[in-house]
Amino acid sequence: MTTASPPTVDGADRRTPSTGRAAAPSPVAAAAGWLVKNPLLVLLVVMVAGVQLATGSQLGWGNLRGVFLDAAVIAIVAAPVAMLVIAGYIDLSVGSTLALGGVVAGKVVQSGGSPLVAVGCALLAGAAVGVVNAVLATVFGLSSFIVTLGMLTAVRGVAQLVSPLPLSNFGEAFGFLGIGNIAGIPLPALLAVAVLLAAGVFLTRTPAGRHVYAIGVNREAAYLSGVDVRRIPFLLFVTSGAAAGLAGAITVARLNSAPAGQLGAGFELSVITAVLLGGIALTGGEGSMVDVLVGVLFMGLLRNGLTLLGVTTFWQNVASGLALVAAIAIAAGTHVVRGRMQAREAHRPDEPATAG
């Protein structure tokens, strides 16, 4: 709600901010401003309302439960990946890390390990992949895009080496991780909520969380402000790997089989799509866990809505892809509108200027 104009490129910065806050905006203007800031949420509500009216079945608990089960696995991984994107990095290896976590958990269960030990091993396997990513991207300073793209292929190979033949039949106890309910809510969805909440609290309530943004906005300035610009991204890579491992265990438990070759194929793209849909910019420095949640739900509900409407799989792919492009175009458009709104406030003549 503030004023002032963008800095000039002039050697001498001669602009002075016209001071203070703008007059209290009218409720209509406030609502408009909120809509402009959250365009995807608006689209989401409109879309769900439309599908619900047309089919009458999207908002049924049975249907929503399925949607949440699918979305949960994506959300668990999208949370740490979004934090990496905010810090100016990316993790493309999560699809294969999911596969590795899945087959590791499957192996442990089949050799008599308890479900908890299996989940622990899946987390460790994923974290190990994260450490490799982290060392290459933060210690050696290689491009995280290239490093994790390479790891995407390499880790897929490792998963297939661990389990050349598909595993299956893990028993009911382990299956609970994938399809079990607590108080009627699927366990994976509860885990996803926990992960999103933890990440959200970390990002907003701890100094290290704010440093994630600082690093993404201006790494050099962060370094000169005494921020540890290696350790924070390092830990985020490890977290992202561990989360993908956990997602692997959940997926395997749900499917009751672990085909190392197909498990989580294309999963990294779903994660990145959800993150981008949520409005988290690839350039870093902005975004929140609410954005991630909205992005994940939008993707899940869009696919589900198309299925309910009887759209075939091929057309669903076309629609999902176009939805991503459209969402980003809308986000860019509203960004422009927001800029204009701020500029108009800045140029209101009634504010007397004070010398800066």
Partner 1 sequence: MTVSIRGLTKRYGPTLALDHVDLDIAAGEVHALLGHNGAGKSTVIKCLGGGTAPSAGSITIGGTTHDALDPRSSIAAGIAVIYQHLSLIDRLDVTENLFLGQETTTAGVFLRRADQRARAVRLLERVGLDVSPDTPVRQLTIGQRQLVEIAKALSREARLLVLDEPSAALSPVESRRLADLVRLLKAEGIAVLYVTHLLNEVVELADRTTVMRDGRVVWSQPMAGVSKTDLVTAVSGRAHGAAVAPRPVDPDTPPALTVDHLQAPGLHDVSLVVRPGEIVGLYGLVGSGRSRLLETLFGRRPVTSGTVAVDGRTVRVRRPDDALRAGLALVPGDRLRQGLFGSLSSGENTVLRVMSLTARAGWRRPRAEQEVFRSTAAAFGLRPADPEVPVSRLSGGNQQKVLIARWVNDRAGTRVLLLDDPTQGVDVGARAEIYEVLRQVAAERGLAVLFASNDPDEVVALAQRCLVMRQGRVVDDLDMRHTGEEQLLDLIHTELEPS
Query: Quick check: 30 binds partner 1 (CB under 8 A)?
Result: no
Which of 126/287 has CB closer to partner 1? 287
Cα dihedral 216/219/224/228 (nearest 10) = 70
Query: Quick check: 171 binds partner 1 (CB under 8 A)?
Result: no
Query: Quick check: 112 binds partner 1 (CB under 8 A)?
Result: no
Q: Which pair of structure tokens corresponds to residue 301? A: 């509900």
- Shortest distance, CB of residue 290 to partner 1, whole angstroms? 18
Which of 89/213 has CB closer to partner 1? 213
- Shortest distance, CB of residue 338 to partner 1, whole angstroms? 12
**What's the CA gap between 280 and 295, in Å, rounded?**
9
DSSP tag of 25: P
3-state secondary structure 239-251: HHHHHHHHHHHHH
The site map against partner 1 for 205-244 (x = CB under 8 A) is xxxx-xx-xx--xx-xxxxxxxxx----------------
**What's the CA gap between 342 and 356, in Å, rounded?**
19
| Residues 271 to 330 in contact with partner 1, rule: CB under 8 A | 285-286
Query: Quick check: 39 binds partner 1 (CB under 8 A)?
Result: no
| Sign of torsion over alpha carbons 327, 329, 335, 341 | negative
- Shortest distance, CB of residue 353 to partner 1, whole angstroms? 3
Q: Which pair of structure tokens corresponds to residue 207? A: 């100094």
DSSP 102-168: HHHHHHHHHTT--HHHHHHHHHHHHHHHHHHHHIIIIIS---HHHHHHHHHHHHHHHHHHH-SS-EE
Q: Which pair of structure tokens corresponds to residue 325? A: 């492009």
Query: Quick check: 176 binds partner 1 (CB under 8 A)?
Result: no
Which of 35/221 has CB closer to partner 1? 221
Stretch that binds partner 1, among 17-25, 119-127, 141-149, 164-172 (CB under 8 A): 17-25
- Shortest distance, CB of residue 13 to partner 1, whole angstroms? 3
Stretch that binds partner 1, among 8-16, 171-179, 289-297, 308-316 (CB under 8 A): 8-16
Q: Are 83 and 203 in contact (CB under 8 A)?
A: yes
Residues that bind partner 1 (CB under 8 A): 1-8, 10-21, 205-208, 210-211, 213-214, 217-218, 220-228, 285-286, 346-347, 353-356
